[in-house]
Amino acid sequence: MATAAPIRSRKAQIDRTATALFRARGFAATSMRELATELGLEAGSLYSHIKSKEEILHRVCFGLAEDFFAGFAAATLDTAAPIATQLRLAIEAHVRVLTRDSAASAVFLHEWRHLSEPARTEFLALRDRYEASFRELIQRGIAANELHAPDAAFAALTLLASLNWLPAWYRPDGKLSPDDIAHRLAEQLLGGLLTNK
Amino acid sequence: MATAAPIRSRKAQIDRTATALFRARGFAATSMRELATELGLEAGSLYSHIKSKEEILHRVCFGLAEDFFAGFAAATLDTAAPIATQLRLAIEAHVRVLTRDSAASAVFLHEWRHLSEPARTEFLALRDRYEASFRELIQRGIAANELHAPDAAFAALTLLASLNWLPAWYRPDGKLSPDDIAHRLAEQLLGGLLTNK
DNA sequence: CCTACCGATCGGTAGG
DNA sequence: CCTACCGATCGGTAGG
């Protein structure tokens, strides 16, 4: 009889547990021994599955970056739709990524600076590109007279800031479902941007 | 002849330099040797001026908490003023604290979790109380029909989130002065909240 | 996946 | 403020 396949690969299990620890204690303050204990094995054994502590961080940060880009691309696929609609969908997609895995999101948002070069610079370039996508969408909305804001860059920054605070207070077992939260955030943030309310 | 008094006390100098390092690398990843080198002395010598690494973090976090509370109190001193005015002043006071020392602000916002108990719990209680102040102000504004928002708690969270992103992008030598930034942020964030725009 | 271990570095102290 | 040092812990490896 073959042994039952593990529900998740050991590597994925390590990533998941490490992500939770990185979020709770920070990357630098999380030790590989702590991680190993949490997984029920010895510190040295981790290295049969991963190459280094930073490799985990790298996977988490760049994996989430992909998710954010994919969400934005899907939200803005229909370029004929009103910009306000595209923006609303982009906000909801962003919130969906944040709530699907808020631990990984928190690591993505706060622990990336422990990446060593060149990964750190590459990561920041991705993040800048993502912010620029929102900024440009808002700019197009202003040009089309669908949105109003004194400064598109400012508006994009505060919009993403509001959304990115979510992992700090979101509880998966809270009263509001991820979709409720996404709708409410989109509603409130667009409320300040829409030309005719 | 007496030697010239140091411009700042050595202790204050240590706090300042440590704050910059904590912000750049994170508390856990900053070593006392690094800090000592930056100050031009040996690691052991730091301990003639401070008791521990965490003591510095404690001073920074609780010192900033005091500043935030003082700013809010000053902004809401005139209880006869319109709530919208009080809120605008509170936003500007918050931004002023953030821009006056953005390194300390970043440490306040992100490194507090490296405080050990009971300081950590005390700190979170202060932060909660501060957020509650904003929430209650917004609630009163809604009751007085000066502000509108589907949910005061939500509004307070997103408002503070937008403001607290500032240390991440603020550059003291940028084009906008702290007061410019404060005004713009207040304008934009109130734009979504005011009943009659 | 474990045992046994490496060199490096950590926060902090004693004694001057 | 320095020299010299402490015990603890770190990320990671060799060999099985």
pLDDT in tens, B86-137: 999 999 999 999 999 999 999 999 999 999 999 999 999 999 999 999 999 9
Residue A191, min C-alpha distance to chain B (Å):
6
- pLDDT tens, position by position, B43-85: 999 999 999 999 999 999 999 999 999 999 999 999 999 999 9
Place B1 in a pLDDT band, splitting at 50, 70 and 90.
very low
Going by pLDDT thresholds of 50, 70 and 90, the confidence category of residue B193 is: low
Residue A197 has pLDDT above 50, yes or no: no
C16 C1' – B193 CA distance, angstroms?
65
Tell me the shortest Cα–Cα distance from B28 to chain A, in angstroms. Answer: 6
Percentage of chain B modeled with pLDDT above 90: 78
A135 pLDDT above the threshold of 90: yes
Closest CA to A79 of A28, A33, A137: A137
Q: How high is the mean pLDDT of chain A?
A: 92
Task: Please report residues of B whose CB lies closer than 8 A to that of A114.
Answer: 26, 29
How many Å apart are CA B164 and CA A7, to the nearest integer?
40
Give me the amino acid identity at B60: V
Which residues face B194 on adjacent strands? B147
- Min Cα separation B46/chain A (Å): 22
CB B114 to CB A26 under 8 A? yes
* Fold observed for domain B53-192: Tetracycline Repressor; domain 2 (1.10.357)
Which nucleotide is nearest to B39 if distance is taken from CA to C1'? D1
Are A137 and A167 contacting, i.e. CB atoms less than 8 angstroms apart? no
Nucleotides of D under 7 A from a protein CB: 1-5, 9-15
Beta-carbon contacts of A108 under 8 Å, excluding residues fewer than 6 positions away, are A60, A61, A64, A65
Q: What is the reported pLDDT for B2? A: 44
The pLDDT value recorded for residue A187 is 83
User: pLDDT digits over A10-37, tens only?
Assistant: 999 999 999 999 999 999 999 999 999 9
3-state class percentages of chain B: helix first, strand second, coil last, to nearest 5? 70, 0, 30
CA-based nearest residue to A35, from A140, B74, A27:
A27
Considering only CB atoms, which chain A residues are within 8 Å of B150? Answer: 184, 187-188
Looking at chain B, the whole-number percentage of residues with pLDDT higher than 70 is 93
* Rounded Cα distance, B67 and B93, in Å: 9
